[in-house]
Amino acid sequence: MSGADNSEADRNAADRNAARSAVRTRRRFVKAGLLVLYVGLTLFVFINGRSHTFLLDNKSLNDGAIPALRRVKVFIDNQKPIELYARDRELLMVRGQGHRIRIETQDPANRLEAKFTVPFGNDMILISIPKMASGADDFWEQFIIHYERPTNNDAPPPTLEEPVPIEPTL
């Protein structure tokens, strides 16, 4: 084999290596792109698909400063309107973080609209309609249910009639 043939073979091998390396790099980019797409899509679905419970409250405030509205129609996002009378509380499920709320009263005739964003971790939101009608910005707040798990101490004391518990066997 001559020297020219050798150099030709070396050049071909180098070309092949370069091509393989380019393919490997491209594959890595594609994989990284897919991973980024997957994470992005999961986050997008996670944030936009989260549901919250809205408690629409039409009660006078505790100090009596703002009285309940006699009759009010509440529109949230594109859902069907909800009609509330004084001392009513309604439950509504909504999806997503940002929401638009509109209230309409007839006596006196009034229409008010507000937009707000629910913090991500909040599951339940209490919306005070009278507070919103009065023009307050803090018309909604997080509603937390305090749940206490039953402990062994909560169980009633065993009676004499109760059979002695036996460990189950196979």
Partner 1 sequence: MKKKFDFRRFIADNVVVVIFLILTAIATPISGLSANYILQDIITRIGRNSFLVFSLLLPIMAGMGLNFGMVLGAMAGEIGLIFAVDWNISGVWGLGFSVLVGLPIAIILGWAAGAVLNRAKGREMATGYILGFFMDGVYQFVVLYLMGSLIPMRSLAITLSRGYGIRNTLNLDSVRQSLDNMMMVKLFGLNFPVGTFIIVGLLCVFIVWFRKTKLGQDMRAIGQDQLVSNASGIPVETTRIIAIVMSTVLAMIGQVIFLQNMGNMATYNAHRQTGFFAVAAILVGGASVTKATIPNVFVGVVLLHLMYIVMPRAGAELFGSAQIGEYFRDAFSYGAIALALVLHAWRKRRGVEIDRAGLRMNTVDPAAKGGAV
Q: 21-80: which residues touch partner 1 (CB under 8 A)?
A: 38, 41-42, 45-46, 48-52
Phi, psi of 114 (to 5 degrees): -145, 155
Q: Are strands 98-106 and 88-95 parallel, antiparallel or unpaired?
A: unpaired
Supply the Cα-derived Rg of the chain in whole angstroms. 32
Shortest distance in whole angstroms from residue 14 CB to partner 1: 24
Complex with partner 1: residue 84 or 118, whichever CB lies closer: 118
- Return the H-helix or E-strand segment holding 5: helix 3-49
Contact in structure between 127 and 54 (CB atoms under 8 Å): yes
Complex with partner 1: residue 62 or 151, whichever CB lies closer: 151
The strand pairing partners of 71, in sequence order, are 85
CA distance 28 to 16: 18
With H, G, I as helix, E, B as strand and everything else as coil, classify residue 65: coil
- Per CB under 8 A, which region of 20-28, 68-76, 132-140, 145-153 contacts partner 1? 145-153
Complex with partner 1: residue 27 or 95, whichever CB lies closer: 95
Shortest distance in whole angstroms from residue 137 CB to partner 1: 26
**150 contributes a contact to partner 1 by CB under 8 A:** yes
Token pair in block for residue 59 = 């009660």
Chosen residue from 63, 80, 107, 149 binding partner 1 by CB under 8 A: 149
Complex with partner 1: residue 108 or 156, whichever CB lies closer: 156
Contact in structure between 146 and 110 (CB atoms under 8 Å): no
**99 contributes a contact to partner 1 by CB under 8 A:** no
Applying CB under 8 A, which residues contact partner 1?
38, 41-42, 45-46, 48-52, 93, 95, 123, 147, 149-150
